[in-house]
Structure 1
């Protein structure tokens, strides 16, 4: 439906959806899942930004590992380490 209406109608639909709370459990579940995935992606990108501005090089394989990580606690731990680490190994290496 959205694609078949003009720009003014799209803006009106978007305005109506602000603050909308999904009624079905199905919609709430997948909306929530999408939000969590978005937060994880944002945290991973923040981590990569901190590493970049601190001058810590991130090989492509490690970059993919960081971007694939979906556990928010894990990403937060890495981000905290990145703030003070001198090397990538200090950030990513996990204790055995």
Structure 2
């Protein structure tokens, strides 16, 4: 499983709705540091858009 799929899976397992715009942004990213930050945020976010709030 790739990083993007992992982040999306964490959100899905937590029952968080993933809008298509969020899905597209996560899948199109190629920056490993950004993925790590998003993964960390995916563990506590209450909505998918919170992945991007600190940017």
Verify the 8 A CA contact 2:22 2:48 in the aligned structure 1.
no
Q: How many equivalent residue pairs?
A: 55
CA distance in 2, matches of 1:83, 1:92: 13
**Which protein has the larger Cα radius of gyration, Structure 1 or Structure 2?**
1
The structural deviation recorded for 1:90 is: 1.9
Structure having the larger proportion of residues in helix: 1
Q: What TM-score, normalized by structure 1, do the two folds share?
A: 0.52
**Which protein, 1 or 2, shows the higher relative CO under an 8 Å CA cutoff with sep ≥ 6?**
2
**Correspondence for 1:65:** 25
Instruction: Give me the CA root mean square deviation.
Output: 1.5
* Secondary structure, aligned partner of 2:21: helix
